[in-house]
Amino acid sequence: MAIEDVIVVSVPVSDQAQAKAFYVDKLGFELLGEDDSIPGLHWIRVGPKGGGTSLTLVTWFESMPAGSLQGLVLRSSDLKADYEAFIERGVPFDGPPEPQPWASLEAVARDPDGNGLVLQQA
């Protein structure tokens, strides 16, 4: 197969500045780039430190309303510690980490628009 990797996932948001603050300040992602070179589009790209896939915080896809992304899975090496740190930073969760048949622990967090972020520990 010629496809090698997933490099970018678009996350639909209503306010890019608010979303950037959430992903960078609350989740600890790195700001990987910002670009205003295309008139009318502000490109913001964030990602976990050392990760291979990044997220773009987008407002321009009519078919992707803010908050419509569900089930984006993020891996954690210590979900209990991450959960506690994220709760202290004000990250909302649907509930605490729970064991699942497919993961030792899993919890669902919500960004400011309600996009669902599934945090898993293998």
CA separation for the pair 110, 108 (Å, rounded) = 7
Identify whether the C-beta of residue 91 lies closer than 8 Å to the C-beta of residue 117. Answer: no
Strands of the 103-110 sheet, one edge to the other: 72-75, 116-121, 103-110, 98-100
Position 39 scores a pLDDT of 87
Closest alpha carbon to 7 in 75, 44, 41, 56: 56
Please give the average pLDDT of every successive group of 10 residues along the chain, which has 122 residues. 90 98 97 92 94 94 94 96 97 98 97 98 92
pTM assigned to the model: 0.93
Position 75 scores a pLDDT of 95
CA separation for the pair 33, 45 (Å, rounded) = 5
CB within 8 A of 113, min separation 6: which ones? 12, 13, 14, 19, 66, 67
CB within 8 A of 104, min separation 6: which ones? 121, 122
